[in-house]
Amino acid sequence: MLEKGWLSYKKEVLKLLNDGYEQFTINTAERILRDNPNKIYFNNCPNCGKLARTPQAKQCRFCGHSWHKQVVATFQVVSAFEVTGRYFFIVGELLTGNVKIGMKVDLTIIGLSKKYIITAVELALHRDDNNSWEDIGLGISDLSEEEKEYLKSNCPFWAPILIED
């Protein structure tokens, strides 16, 4: 197990475990939260405030409250870009429902641990050869540069995102 790196006799590693494994996990969680506060999203029940099983869960395992009805639309992200001096846009197809300014875009399904407020809704015209079509652009203003780059470099996303009221 030493050869595989599963055990260690290094002093700095053993020092981390001085107070036991449980305290090690608490210290690790506190460090992650302290060093990455904008990357962590806790999906808490809007009724009792307890943590849901997954970031995408819409029903509380503790009190049974369901917030499925808060989801008002689904959106397929095809591309992302930023207009200088304006918003960052995720562009794609509205699969179900309607969107409007002030609703929240839940990007946890595509790897960003946060819900962002829609600050603009615009049409995006695409032209390819002799074909043209319109997609919807959802403007979001509170993304970090790292999050913007993640979206731009990983589009299109196969999983539709949820839009909540």
Give the pLDDT of the chain (165 residues) as one tens digit per residue: 677 777 888 898 889 889 988 999 999 999 988 887 767 778 888 899 999 998 778 899 999 999 888 889 999 999 999 988 889 999 999 999 999 999 999 888 888 877 899 999 999 887 888 888 889 999 998 888 999 999 999 999 988 999 998
CATH number for the domain harbouring residue 144: 2.40.30.10
Residue 30 inside a domain? The answer is: no
> Distance (Å, rounded) from C-alpha 38 to C-alpha 147?
10
Residue 76 inside a domain? The answer is: yes
Tell me the whole-structure pTM to 2 decimals.
Answer: 0.67
Domain count, the chain: 1
- Domain containing 133 equals 68-164
Residue 48 inside a domain? The answer is: no
